[in-house]
Amino acid sequence: MKRLAWLGVILLVALLIPFFMGGTEVFHRLRNFPLALLGAMFGMVLVGWCANTMRLRLLLGESAAGVGMRKSLGIVMATEFAYSATPGGSGAPLTLVALLSRCGIGPAKSTAAFATDQLNDLVFFLLALIGILIYAVFHQLSENLEWMLIASALLIGAGLCACAGFARFHRRIILFNGKLLTRLRRKNTTRIRWARKLLHFRDALAETWKMPHRILLKVFALTCVHWGLRYSVMYLALRGLGVDIDWAWTFLVQMLSLSAGQFSLSPGGAGAAELTSAALLAPMVGKSTAAAAILIWRIVTYYFYLVAGGPVFLLLVGKPLLMKLLRVRAG
């Protein structure tokens, strides 16, 4: 219960950051925000969950035959909750594997699905960053944002290269890992366990690349739908607040803010995402408007994930796994 209480304190502090930044003017901004637009944003989140559900079922292939559509949606919502409630989204793969195992799907298959999902996300963000770089050539961009944009593109590209490099040189990497653990005087059982983990990851990537191209294209199209909707929330929030701003800049602000949140190791990037987005957005639109937009953005794309996904998580998984996730990450 202490860990849950600590999580609640972190979320409350993060929620209050926009109010401290914008002051009482934030309430005025929020009071005049169109309710129909806010409802449309929540609808976009639901569509995104449906897209992720279809993506998961495509990745599982024939194994998804025993998992109903409603069950698949519940798994997606519970996994999103675990992602939002743990540092760096570290609880998502464990939750996905645990839920799919209860449906008779083995860890290798669920790991392959998760690996494919992450690779598709990386490809989408890399292509999006390239598009923004091209857009920035014809539009004025501050020097700091230019370096952040380039650094983000290089980081995502390095991640994709690392995955491809591991698939190509996995034997050498496994041997190197074994030698390193030997020098660190680890037990043989530890070396074997890590070798198995690396082999399972290799098998997951191999299974991913053996899938038919048409399936992979459908999965990537659904990936674009999900992230396109989710990364349009801040843009719509600013438009609802009367700000005329390009979608590309709001995409960049969200991506950099959420990346900073990942590195902060707070649950869902709470606190760090708000502060980073405030630093990037306030010079463009003003403090009060930025604060209101950030609050709407985080309520729709973060707190709603916790509120809606929490009960589903507890229903499908139960409290023991939740406490295990919090305990492991706290340690």
> Is 80 exceeded by the pLDDT of residue 100?
yes
Residue 147, token pair as written in the block:
């370096």
Q: Concatenated DSSP letters for 119-178? A: HHHHHHHHHHHHHHHHHHHTS---HHHHHHHHHHHHHHHHHHHHHHHHHHSHHHHHHHHH
pLDDT score at 164: 63
pLDDT score at 331: 42
At 102, the pLDDT band (50, 70, 90 cuts) reads confident
Nearest to 115 by CA among 77, 49, 160: 160
Instruction: Summarize pLDDT for 26-74 with one digit per residue, the tens.
Output: 888 888 899 999 999 999 999 999 999 999 999 888 888 888 899 999 9
47 vs 41: CA distance, rounded Å: 10
pLDDT score at 190: 57
Mean pLDDT of the 132-154 span:
66
pLDDT score at 163: 61
| Mean pLDDT computed over every residue of the chain | 80
Q: Picking from 191-195, 223-227, 238-242, 289-293, which range would have the lowest pLDDT averaged per residue? A: 191-195
Residue 71, token pair as written in the block:
């069950």
Residue with tokens 């993506």, as numbered in its chain: 55
pLDDT score at 174: 59
pTM: 0.83
Instruction: Summarize pLDDT for 282-328 with one digit per residue, the tens.
Output: 888 888 899 999 999 999 999 999 999 989 998 888 766 666 666 65
pLDDT score at 147: 62
pLDDT score at 237: 95
> Is 90 exceeded by the pLDDT of residue 80?
yes
Which is higher by pLDDT, 106 or 274? 274
271 touches 264 (CB < 8 A): yes
32 vs 53: CA distance, rounded Å: 34
pLDDT score at 200: 64
pLDDT score at 157: 67
Residue with tokens 């989204």, as numbered in its chain: 89
Which of 94-108, 120-134, 171-185 tops mean pLDDT? 94-108
4 vs 22: CA distance, rounded Å: 29
DSSP secondary structure letter of residue 266: S
- What does the domain layout of the chain look like in residue ranges? 2-330
